Structure 1
Amino acid sequence: MNRLTTNPFRNLLVVGSFLVVQSLTSCHSQESKADVAEADSAPEATEVFALQKGKLSSSLQVPGELVAYRDVDIYAKVSGFIKTLYVDIGSEVTQGQLLAVAEAPELNAQLSSAQSKLKAQEALSIASKANYDRILEASKFSGAVSKNDVDQALAKRNADLAQLEAARSAYREVADLRQYLQIRAPFNGVISARNASTGAYIGPSGKGSEFPLFVLTEQKRLRLVISVPEAYTGYVDQNETVSFSVKAFPDRKFTGQVKRQAGALDKRLRSERVEVDVLNNNKKLLPGMIAEVSIPLPTRTSTFIVPKSAVVNSSTGVFVVKVTNNKAEWIPVQKGLEADEKMEVFGKLNEGDQLVTTATEEIRDGSPVTPAKAASNTVQ
């Protein structure tokens, strides 16, 4: 037999010591697990900021088209043939300048006929007036002429006067038509198209002239036509300055002033037509150019400004996360202007509310939150 079996007291002592050590180890292990579990359940600190009001200046980038301030197709008023052309494509003309002269021999014949009728009617009118004067003078003597003769002479004189006025009108009409053989510029501009040559037949649109003789374009002043989306129409005002660029001069910025607003939305595009007047004295800009337009959109009143990261766009709506008594609260909001990673928001919010700087759907409504102040105010 060994010594352990011969000494029962010593064996009991060894077993008891082993049990005490095992118990202490087990307690220490349980305490460590509890500490780890408690650390895991504690929420991490979440960065928040104090909500403040401010004014956010943004800009709207939209495409636009440059069109001539005035652009007109010039047709011949009467039919004829081109006798002389005085301008060509690119010619700069002034109002009233002679562009072309046409000839129409039949108009000359009509004018001569009208002139002859006018002279004949003048002679008849003179004769009827003289006859009436003689009869009227004779009627002053008793029994010389009857009153009926006087009335008939007066009627003949008035009828001949009316015919004389008609002849004069007919003569003026033909004379005015002859004036249309001289084709003149209605305003200052540049001839941007010419569709006729010397000897070509001309006439009113649809009567021998499918295309206009000339297209006259005003270039020193242009219209910049843009379509402003419905959500931004309230930010555009009369006489507001906008800037734009064109592909022909990518390194230059041009400006113009808002002068005309449609006052109604296009039913298809849901946008308002806005026209901007652009001075173009050097004629570098051309009608038809496509422009990239920047429209300033300054806020008129102070609104709540937050970082874009504070706004959550979810399938249930748009909201920010407000921290109240260390609890998360989803606050539905509507978005406004955006600029420089900031955004206007509108909702049931008050100045000084604590909002989560980087909000996500993982921060559930009502979940515990440990706020941590941001290092700097992100909404200034």
Structure 2
Amino acid sequence: MSHHRARSSIGNTKPFLLVLGCIIIVLFIIGVIPKAMQKGELTNKAIQLGSEIPVVQTVVVTPAPFEESATLPGNIGAMQYATIYARVDGYLTGRMVDIGDHVKAGDLLAEIDTPTIDEQTAQAKADVAEARAQLVSAQASLKEAKAKDETAEAMVTRAAADQSYAAVTAERWVNMAARGAVSVQSRDEKNTALAAQNASLEATKAQKRASDQAVAAAESQVNVTRAGVAAKLAALARYQAEQAFKHVRAPFEGVITARKVDPGDLITAGSMTQNTELFQMAKLDILRIYVNVPQAISRYLETGQPAELFVTGFPERTFKGTVTNISGALDPQTRTRQTEVKISNPEHVLLPGMYAQVKLTVHRPEAWVRVPSNAVIPHGADLEVVVVKDGKAHYQKVVLGRDFGDELEIKAGLEGGETVVLSPEDDLREGDRVKSADIASR
């Protein structure tokens, strides 16, 4: 019985092993053989692909335009603008203009009552009259002193003549007394007379010196009073000038843009912060606008070059301007260069404070080219582009100019007309054969 059971167990196992073997064979056929076939196909494809020429995306480079434009925002302002303050204290008695009024240079804008200045002016006039009267008196005294001086000079002349006669007479009598022709007493009388004449001459000379000093003193007094008159006249002129400031006049031809006072207001002279201005006015014939030009084109700016202005309120018009002033330095914060553009505005269409767009067109003298940014690749310390020539790739060193974001300016290395590769692969080698797929033409 045991032997029968063993044979029965072996008989049952054989079909199982047979089925298992069949399953393994089927799985092998399904899994391994297709993979082997697929691997062979992939290998054949790889060999086939390795023998094909790679296709690269390219563009044909043309020279960059010699003109470049930029449209920049700015605020229009008046070429000539003034805030008018009072020059004297007082009350505003009259206002002759209001906002929007057109005035000419010298037109009366307002009047200020100035009683203090008026009183000071009247006092100055009285001081001038008094000084002039003193000058007349001093001149009269000088004239009198000169007359006395002339009298003294005549007396000196007469005394000198008398002294000369007395000297001759005394000498004659001395000679005659020596010969006994006259008495000694007579001689002594003549000598005494000569001494008296000598004393009289010295006295008249002293009077002449005194009269000369009197003339000099009178002349000094005239000069002093004349200087006093000049000082009083200067003070009067100053008060009259201040008095003239009661009439507030337009400094130039223009339009009143603001009015801050009314009749009866107390006006304080000066332009300090706490003082209120009377008017603001602007000259509208010529306006100006300041724009900040980017560094990329600022080097090509020139005074006198034209500019175009676009104002939202006038979509159908293009206003013409001229570059008049260019800053000598760039703002280190914004890397821009402040530029002034003047606009002729004879019709007064444009107004100060308007927002405008200014288009500047500059001319670049260098013959440069531009390429897409992804065409330039670093190679060590240099920058290169891949140029396709005769179906082969060639690495070309370039020197960059300005960076425009998606484009780069090439100053050296390319002349235009070359075909360059966009985003070249890292494994692309010098001299490799490539096939160009031109996607853009510059």
Structure 2-normalised TM-score? Answer: 0.70
Alpha carbons of 1:355 and 1:97: their partners in 2 closer, same or farther (altered >3 Å)?
same
Q: Any conservation in 2 of the 1:67–1:222 contact (CA below 8 Å)?
A: yes
**In 1, Cα distance between the equivalents of 2:282 and 2:338?**
22
Secondary structure of 2:318's counterpart equals strand
Unaligned runs of 5+ in 2: 1-35, 154-203
Structure 1-normalised TM-score? Answer: 0.80
Structure 1 residue identity aligned to 2:119: A
Aligned match for 1:178, one of 243, 263, 267:
243
Are residue 331 (structure 1) and residue 397 (structure 2) matched?
yes
| Match of residue 168 from structure 1 | 233
**In 1, Cα distance between the equivalents of 2:150 and 2:435?**
121
Alpha carbons of 1:258 and 1:213: their partners in 2 closer, same or farther (altered >3 Å)?
same
Secondary structure of 1:349's counterpart equals coil
Question: How much does 1:267 deviate?
Answer: 3.7
**In 2, Cα distance between the equivalents of 1:100 and 1:352?**
72
Q: Any conservation in 2 of the 1:328–1:364 contact (CA below 8 Å)?
A: no
Are residue 194 (structure 1) and residue 259 (structure 2) matched?
yes
Unaligned runs of 5+ in 1: 1-25
| Match of residue 193 from structure 2 | none
| Match of residue 362 from structure 1 | 425
**In 2, Cα distance between the equivalents of 1:336 and 1:208?**
48
More strand, by proportion: 1
Bigger Cα displacement from structure 2, 64-73 vs 202-211: 202-211
| Match of residue 90 from structure 2 | 80
Question: How much does 1:37 deviate?
Answer: 2.3
Alpha carbons of 1:71 and 1:48: their partners in 2 closer, same or farther (altered >3 Å)?
same
Question: How much does 1:124 deviate?
Answer: 0.4
Q: Any conservation in 2 of the 1:49–1:354 contact (CA below 8 Å)?
A: yes
Alpha carbons of 1:370 and 1:171: their partners in 2 closer, same or farther (altered >3 Å)?
same
**In 2, Cα distance between the equivalents of 1:269 and 1:165?**
60
Secondary structure of 2:281's counterpart equals strand
- Could you list the per-position Cα deviations for residues 145-178 of structure 1 after superposition, in whole angstroms to 9, with x for gaps in the alignment? 5222122111111100100100100111111111
**In 1, Cα distance between the equivalents of 2:331 and 2:73?**
16
Secondary structure of 2:71's counterpart equals strand
- Could you list the per-position Cα deviations for residues 18-67 of structure 1 after superposition, in whole angstroms to 9, with x for gaps in the alignment? xxxxxxxx9xx979964762335523343656655464322112212211
Name the larger-Rg structure. 2
| Match of residue 355 from structure 2 | 290
Alpha carbons of 1:190 and 1:200: their partners in 2 closer, same or farther (altered >3 Å)?
same
Secondary structure of 1:137's counterpart equals helix
- Could you list the per-position Cα deviations for residues 291-341 of structure 1 after superposition, in whole angstroms to 9, with x for gaps in the alignment? 2221112222322x24537744889997532236723426344244869x9
| Match of residue 372 from structure 2 | 308
Using the aligned pairs only, state the percent identity: 24
- Could you list the per-position Cα deviations for residues 133-154 of structure 1 after superposition, in whole angstroms to 9, with x for gaps in the alignment? 2212331332455222122111
Are residue 272 (structure 1) and residue 337 (structure 2) matched?
yes
Q: Any conservation in 2 of the 1:76–1:183 contact (CA below 8 Å)?
A: yes
**In 2, Cα distance between the equivalents of 1:90 and 1:269?**
37
| Match of residue 59 from structure 1 | 69
| Match of residue 110 from structure 1 | 120
Q: Any conservation in 2 of the 1:310–1:320 contact (CA below 8 Å)?
A: no
More helix, by proportion: 2
Q: CA RMSD in A?
A: 3.4
Secondary structure of 1:249's counterpart equals coil
